[in-house]
Amino acid sequence: MVSGVPQGSVLGPLLYVIYMHDIPLPSTPQTLIQIYADDTAIFTTSYSEFQCSIRMQSYLDLLVEYFKNWNIKINPTKTQLVYFYPTYKYQNKLKKAVPVNIEKHMLKNDKSANYLGITLANKLCFKQHILNIRRKTAFAFNILYPVLSSSSGLDANNKLLIYKLYNRPIFLYAAPAWYKLLNKTQKKVLQKTQNKALNFVFNKWSKPPDFHRCSINILHDMAQILRVVDFTDRLISNAICKLMTSTCEIMNEIAHKY
């Protein structure tokens, strides 16, 4: 290999960390870079859109030079640029931003960006994220319908196990990072997703004329499963405990702020 690290190898992640250890850091405290494997996110903050654009462009130029020196190729078409604003300020302020480019490839202003499985919207809300995970969950339900339907012959315990192992992790992925920021309507949507799954588990979602459903409380008691809000509270508590016992100072700081 002329450059880079072998993909798919056991030592690949470690070699990549070593390979990228000297990546240049931002020169201003308002700009941060976060790297997880080969996913890189750059953040910069300012009250001025002009300053945000200038800082971002300056740091991108520095990274482009670094990547060229180490024969690392950047794919500008997969690079997203998002300006985050409170809803009421977004439309007017964005007009003052300066265009940002990577190797003369202009980056368009996207309304949202997917980072590590979470959709981050420019209006600082999670409406699009909820829509995305609902689509993913519905797709998973469709795939598993033959084994979750009343005609499958599978008992309720095994159906419930499938839901816990396959369906619930899809729509509650990384929930400690975003669940507390949802409004009541969005939280109800997630709860309805679990309610629907439990109806399938206990064969309470039949087509007419046998259509009938149990109350939500009875379904959860039968399944001995927590409601979504209680389950995410447990996830958050576990995450905070792990952060507080971490040897990383940044992780400890995040836990105390949470």
What does the pLDDT look like over 116-148, one tens digit per residue?
Answer: 889 998 888 899 999 999 999 999 988 988 888
The per-residue pLDDT for range 65-98, each reduced to its tens digit, is 998 888 888 888 888 899 888 765 555 656 666 7
pTM: 0.80
Which candidate, 139, 136, 155, places its Cα nearest to that of 147?
A: 155
Cβ atoms of 10 and 86 within 8 Å: the answer is no
pLDDT band at residue 245 under the 50/70/90 scheme: confident
Q: What percent of the chain has pLDDT over 70?
A: 87
pLDDT band at residue 210 under the 50/70/90 scheme: very low
pLDDT at 2: 61
Quick check: 180 pLDDT over 70? yes
Cβ atoms of 200 and 149 within 8 Å: the answer is yes
Q: Enumerate residues 6+ apart whose C-beta is below 8 A from 8.
A: none
Secondary structure class of 230 (helix, strand, coil): helix
